[in-house]
């Protein structure tokens, strides 16, 4: 019997974008010029771009048609009202504040909710989310379950919150010092790992007792819904659309980087059920983003987003989306390459500590590995380890995260199965020569979100 490829795409290709093939010598020169940071490579020098799934998606013919319906009025664009209604219909939230992308919403929300000295517990940090919480005066506390830090644990819901850790924090600082719990669906930094509906319901009950709201980072909520359907028995026949709605209904506020799940190239929003937060956000958005009926977005972008939200909760779309990630992950496992298991939804994460066990974490194994993969084949990936973790505000020392990962992230509806095969084969080739790989050191380290712009040189 042939192996079933049940994840095949529910779309066909209408237009293509040419890719440039490069030689190994050209790539060695390009990565040197980029300071061994894949964020600093020029896209023309990249063959298969798996740096991120953020804003790199292919829009559908319907979304492009929606672009032509852009109402570019400064105030009260009809696309805003369409988007507002879509968000209430699909995500349940009552009020919408559009922003240019996710971090715009994180900034406004953190400034409204947090007072100096507060504590924000969350199911693992995300770079921009934690930075905005810290800039507003909070201390982030990780309350994700221990299994999330173990790359070999097969726990199906490594995004779950450990309520004992939350209780411990409440006992220590008091519920009044906790403005909200920061809960992400499909935890990016844990390797795209989901939270279960059962855990979210428990979190809801628990936080209700203490009157602590839940703020939902819903950047990849539909992907989380797909994994709930695959791994939580009572949801196996429930449509993604309904699971997404139920997740959102269990939370009070949400920030969204629309560049992911909703299959657009730019956009984001803050959504809330709290009228008071909404009013404050409406006032703040005009300072930092734009009028409250467009935030940082053009009318046409809001239209494409409204259509993308509907497409993102389609079962067929999500089966292919997550199926492609799982196909790549399984190929890597077959080559014996160490990756995070279970395979997540938006990408496959290489375990750089196991891939390059001879490198100490302070010579940046994941950063080094991402550079080597680029040199091998022109495939662009990114670091999610000590460089992304940054330094502690208090001690100035590096944070040493347990997870030292290279993220291979899949844009939505962009690459084919052959691209996945080439990617897996080229990573396997690097794995074969892993013992000869040396680490990196900083030549430039920016103060904030250093992984975006830092430069390195090889250690000889
Ligand atoms: C989980 C998560 N939250 C927030 C953000 C920030 O969103 P943006 O890049 O749109 O500012 C991202 C982006 O990568 C993300 O993955």
From first to last of its 460 residues, what are the pLDDT tens digits of the chain? 555 567 789 999 999 999 999 999 999 999 999 999 999 999 999 999 999 999 999 999 999 999 999 999 999 999 999 999 999 999 999 999 999 999 999 999 999 999 999 999 999 989 999 999 999 999 999 999 999 999 889 999 999 999 999 999 999 999 999 999 999 999 988 889 999 999 999 999 999 999 999 999 999 999 999 999 999 999 999 999 999 999 999 999 999 999 999 999 999 999 999 999 999 999 999 999 999 999 999 999 999 999 999 999 999 999 999 999 999 999 999 999 999 999 999 999 999 999 999 999 999 999 999 999 999 999 999 999 999 999 988 899 999 999 999 999 999 999 999 999 999 999 999 999 999 999 999 999 999 999 999 999 999 8
- SS3 state at 440: strand
Which two structure tokens, joined as six digits, stand for 388? 């992304």
CA 262 to centroid of chain Cα atoms: 12
229 burial via Cβ count (<10 Å: 0-12, 13-18, 19+): buried
pTM of structure: 0.95
Rounded to the nearest angstrom, the distance between the alpha carbon of 398 and the centre of ligand 1 is 22
What residues line ligand 1, using a CB cutoff of 6 Å? Answer: 54, 101-103, 126, 128-129, 184, 188, 217, 219, 257, 259, 268
| 260 in catalytic set | yes
> Considering only CA atoms, which residue is closest to atom 7 of ligand 1?
102
Number of neighbouring beta carbons within 10 Å of residue 63 = 23
| 217 in catalytic set | yes
Angle among Cα 341, 240, 213 to the nearest 5 degrees reads 80
For residue 394, what pLDDT is reported?
84
Q: Which one of 32, 61, 62, 74 is the catalytic residue?
A: 74
For residue 2, what pLDDT is reported?
57
Which two structure tokens, joined as six digits, stand for 138? 């909070």
408 φ/ψ angles, rounded to the nearest 5 degrees: -110, 100
Rounded to the nearest angstrom, the distance between the alpha carbon of 436 and the centre of ligand 1 is 35
Which two structure tokens, joined as six digits, stand for 166? 């939350």
Calpha distance 240→242 (Å, rounded): 5
Closest CA to 51 of 353, 366, 383: 383
Q: Calculate Rg over the CA atoms of the chain.
A: 21
**What CA–CA distances, in Å, run from 37 to 221, 405, 436?**
29, 14, 20
Which residues make beta-bridge pairs with 272?
95, 253
5 φ/ψ angles, rounded to the nearest 5 degrees: -110, 65
Handedness of CA 135, 136, 139, 140 (dihedral sign): negative
Q: What is the DSSP letter of 70?
A: -
Rounded to the nearest angstrom, the distance between the alpha carbon of 257 and the centre of ligand 1 is 5
Q: Which one of 217, 252, 301, 351 is the catalytic residue?
A: 217
What is the number of the ligand 1 atom nearest to the C-alpha of 103? 11
- Name, in order, each residue with C-beta under 8 angstroms of 406's C-beta and a sequence gap of 6 or more: 349, 350, 352, 355, 366, 369, 370, 373, 381, 382, 383, 384, 385
């Amino acid at each position: 019997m042939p192996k079933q490829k049940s994840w095949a795409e529910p779309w066909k290709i209408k237009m293509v974008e040419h890719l440039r093939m490069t030689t190994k010598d050209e790539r060695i020169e390009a990565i040197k010029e980029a300071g061994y940071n894949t964020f600093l490579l020029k896209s023309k020098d990249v063959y298969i771009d798996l740096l991120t799934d953020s804003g790199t998606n292919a829009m559908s013919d319907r979304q492009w048609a929606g672009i032509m319906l852009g109402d570019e009025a400064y105030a009260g664009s009809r696309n805003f009202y369409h988007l507002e209604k879509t968000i209430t219909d699909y995500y349940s939230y009552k009020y919408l504040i559009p922003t240019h992308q996710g971090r715009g919403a994180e900034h406004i929300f953190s400034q409204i909710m947090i007072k100096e000295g507060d504590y924000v517990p969350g199911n693992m940090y995300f770079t921009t989310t934690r930075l905005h919480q810290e800039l507003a005066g909070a201390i982030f506390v990780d309350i994700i379950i221990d299994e999330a830090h173990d790359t070999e644990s097969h726990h199906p819901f490594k995004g779950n919150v450990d309520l004992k850790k939350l209780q411990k924090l409440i006992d220590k600082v008091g519920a009044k010092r906790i403005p909200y719990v920061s809960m992400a669906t499909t935890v990016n930094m844990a390797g795209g790992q989901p939270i279960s509906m059962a855990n979210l319901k428990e979190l809801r009950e628990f936080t209700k007792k203490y009157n602590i709201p839940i703020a939902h980072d819903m950047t990849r909520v539909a992907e989380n819904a797909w994994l709930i359907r695959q791994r939580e028995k009572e949801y196996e026949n429930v449509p993604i659309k309904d699971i997404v709605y139920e997740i959102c209904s269990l939370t009070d506020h949400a920030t969204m980087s629309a560049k992911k799940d909703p299959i657009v190239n730019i956009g984001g929003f803050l959504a809330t059920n709290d009228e008071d937060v909404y009013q404050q956000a409406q006032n703040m958005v005009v300072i930092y983003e734009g009028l409250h009926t467009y935030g940082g977005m053009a009318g046409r972008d809001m239209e494409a987003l409204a259509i993308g939200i509907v497409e993102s909760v389609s079962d067929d779309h999500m089966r292919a989306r997550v199926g492609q990630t799982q196909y790549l992950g399984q190929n890597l496992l077959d080559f014996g390459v160490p990756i995070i298991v279970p395979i997540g939804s938006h990408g496959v994460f290489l375990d750089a500590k196991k891939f390059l066990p001879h490198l100490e974490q302070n010579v940046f194994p994941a950063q080094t590995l991402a550079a080597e993969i680029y040199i091998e084949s022109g495939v662009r990936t990114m670091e999610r380890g000590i460089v992304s973790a940054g330094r502690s505000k208090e001690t100035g020392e590096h944070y040493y995260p347990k997870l030292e990962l290279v993220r291979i992230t899949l844009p939505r509806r962009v690459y084919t199965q052959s691209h996945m095969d080439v990617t897996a084969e080229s990573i396997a080739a690097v794995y074969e020569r892993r013992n000869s790989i040396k680490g990196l050191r900083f030549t430039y380290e920016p103060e904030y979100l250093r992984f975006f712009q830092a430069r390195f040189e090889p250690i000889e």
